[in-house]
Structure 1
Amino acid sequence: MTAQTNLSATRTTGGRPGGDVSVRTGAGKLVADTWAVFTREILLVLRDPFTLIFSLLQPLIFLGLFGPLLTGAVGGFGGGTPGGGGSTADTLQWFVPGVIVMISLFGTSMSGSNLLYEMMTGSYERVLATPLDRSAILVGRALKEFAPLVVQGLLIAVVCVPFGFTLYPLHLLVGLLLLGLFGVGVGALSISLALAAKNREWLFWGVQQSLLFPLLILSGMMLPLEAGPAWMQTAAMFNPLTYIVDAERALLAGSLVDTDVLWGFAAAALTCAVGLWVGIRRTRRTT
């Protein structure tokens, strides 16, 4: 009887007879659980680097094929405005920020597809069975989107330098931080959509694809909106991606103190806050 009592005490004290278990609660548990989820998710990316490399092909194709067409069609975008120069360097200075934002939008909006696969295989249910904080599951998954964005953004910028793109390292890092903030919000919204569309993959893809391309076009990411009709310019004002693109162009042009940068961070912070709020509520309701 005494031996059984001692064994029970040893098990409940983490293998230290007579000791006390230090249980994290509150903010400490949330941070620890978030880090655990983030580590798990980022290790999956590192074990399959081909996916990260393959995701760079589309942006490189846009740069290689779409960039020259822009230069020939509208005379370049020197200084961030149509018809400002006409050189390849001017076009790249205008176009590269849009391509980097495109990487962020495509990558983070696909976050829910990975979750759909985990729900199909049953691995997500095993995660829910752990004592992890439900909020940490969402936040950790959303934060995972930041690391690939940094790598991809840096690679795209460096590849374009030999072709005339002017690189401002500090400004690029600030721009990637902005994209990371925005990407966390978009990733959280994508995960929320996947949770809402459980066992209905068609619903996730239908909503995701229906929103993705209008947001992309109405942001001025690929073509300047100044040449578009008034209704498109009005619709762009309600598109948070518009402010992100404008901020990235200002930053990668070498300007840290710019109104567009402030509006970009405001839009990114709002997107992040809304995404995390919606995502945390949806994750906590998941059974």
Structure 2
Amino acid sequence: MGEIEGIYTIWLREMKRFLRYRSRIVTSIVTPLLWLIIFGTGLGASIRFATVPGGYRAFIYPGIIGQTILFTSIFSGVSVIIDRQYGFLKEILVAPISRTSIVLGKAFGISTASMIQTTILLLLSFLVGIIMTPACFLVTLILSLIISMGFGGLGLMIAAFTDSMEGFNLIMSFIVLPIFLLSGALFPITGLPAWLKSAVYLNPLTYGVDAMRYTILRDSVFPLEVNVLVISAFAVMMVFLAAFMFNVKEQSLM
């Protein structure tokens, strides 16, 4: 019971921190909408894209949701650095709960924030001509939870051994953009050169975007079962690796 209570307490703190900064919520919604409206309309007007109903804007819609989840999840790892600087992380580490529970609490908090943003974007699906059914809405939210757990774990793992916000942001800048661009969020991944296709297939976000594209548009490259298996395995692996990194850094943080 103590572990569950610890996970809940850390989750609640992460949620209060997220809701306290309303400008962050607004920015995280406005930015993907700008991508959809400006990038989707501008590029969609210059190319013929008839693989899915609704054209290019509808095609990139699941990818933009994936982008929002990626950015929110992975950059939320900076909370570890802030907690370390203010001494709160020491208090968490001396609590009678496991490092895995600490990471799970933070990862669930990050995932809940991502799901809130995903919900808002799904409610705005009419802007790209997509009718969202309740089943589609629910499945997409579940997918966003799994994806954000994975990338939230990745952000926490990197933050565990990064001592400054500047260093964290520098590492993230080299990681986030390639993950997004190589996920198939903005272009079909079929027909790519072999070297580029290999990089795309090694990217876990590829399977998350493909799963949401199947759920929302009924158009995907891989079977839904394969996509869910890959992103679930990635989420479990990242959470446990993040917990391992907390154990490794325990002596220096205490």
Shared fold (TM-score, shorter chain, > 0.5):
yes
Alpha-carbon spacing, 1:206–1:162, altered in 2? closer, same or farther (3 Å): closer
Deviation at 1:265, TM superposition (A): 0.7
Q: Which residue of 2 aligns with 1:134?
A: 99
Q: How far apart are the structure 1 equivalents of 2:130 and 2:57?
A: 6
Alpha-carbon contact 2:153-2:239 (below 8 Å) kept: yes
Q: Which residue of 1 aligns with 2:246?
A: 283
Unaligned runs of 5+ in 1: 1-27, 80-84
Which among 76, 89, 94 is matched to residue 49 of structure 2? 76
Deviations 1:73-93 (A, max 9, x none): 3212433xxxxx6xxx23333
Deviation at 1:171, TM superposition (A): 1.5
Deviations 1:146-177 (A, max 9, x none): 22222211211222314412212211221221
Deviation at 1:42, TM superposition (A): 1.2
Q: Give aligned pairs, total.
A: 250
Alpha-carbon contact 1:149-1:180 (below 8 Å) kept: yes
Which deviates more from structure 2 when the two are superposed, residues 179-188 or residues 257-266?
257-266
Q: Which residue of 2 aligns with 1:217?
A: 181
Are 1:208 and 2:172 matched, yes or no? yes
Deviation at 1:100, TM superposition (A): 0.4
The equivalences for 1:25-40 within 5 A come to 28-40=1-13
Q: How far apart are the structure 1 equivalents of 2:203 and 2:99?
A: 30
Alpha-carbon spacing, 1:135–1:52, altered in 2? closer, same or farther (3 Å): same
Are 1:265 and 2:238 matched, yes or no? no
Classify the secondary structure of the residue corresponding to 1:224.
coil
Classify the secondary structure of the residue corresponding to 1:55.
helix
Alpha-carbon contact 1:99-1:221 (below 8 Å) kept: yes
Q: Which residue of 2 aligns with 1:238?
A: 202
Percent identity of equivalent pairs: 22
Which among 150, 157, 161 is matched to residue 122 of structure 2? 157
Q: Which residue of 2 aligns with 1:177?
A: 142
Q: How far apart are the structure 2 equivalents of 1:57 and 1:112?
A: 22
Task: Letter of the 1:284 partner, please give it.
Answer: N
Deviations 1:110-138 (A, max 9, x none): 02212212212222223223334332211
Q: How far apart are the structure 2 equivalents of 1:250 and 1:163?
A: 16
Alpha-carbon contact 1:236-1:242 (below 8 Å) kept: yes
Task: Letter of the 1:222 partner, please give it.
Answer: L
Deviations 1:25-48 (A, max 9, x none): xxx322221112111211222233
Q: Which residue of 2 aligns with 1:103?
A: 68
Q: Which residue of 2 aligns with 1:50?
A: 23
Classify the secondary structure of the residue corresponding to 2:223.
helix
Deviation at 1:102, TM superposition (A): 0.4
Deviations 1:231-272 (A, max 9, x none): 2122211111111111110100258x9953112211111111
Alpha-carbon contact 1:33-1:133 (below 8 Å) kept: no
Which among 20, 32, 36 is matched to residue 63 of structure 1? 36
Which deviates more from structure 2 when the two are superposed, residues 37-46 or residues 125-134?
125-134
Alpha-carbon contact 1:110-1:190 (below 8 Å) kept: yes
Higher relative contact order (CA 8 A, sep 6+): 2
Which deviates more from structure 2 when the two are superposed, residues 150-159 or residues 236-245?
150-159
Q: Which residue of 2 aligns with 1:196?
A: 161
Query: Normalized against structure 1, the TM-score is what?
Result: 0.80
Q: How far apart are the structure 1 equivalents of 2:194 and 2:109?
A: 38
Q: How far apart are the structure 2 equivalents of 1:210 and 1:162?
A: 32
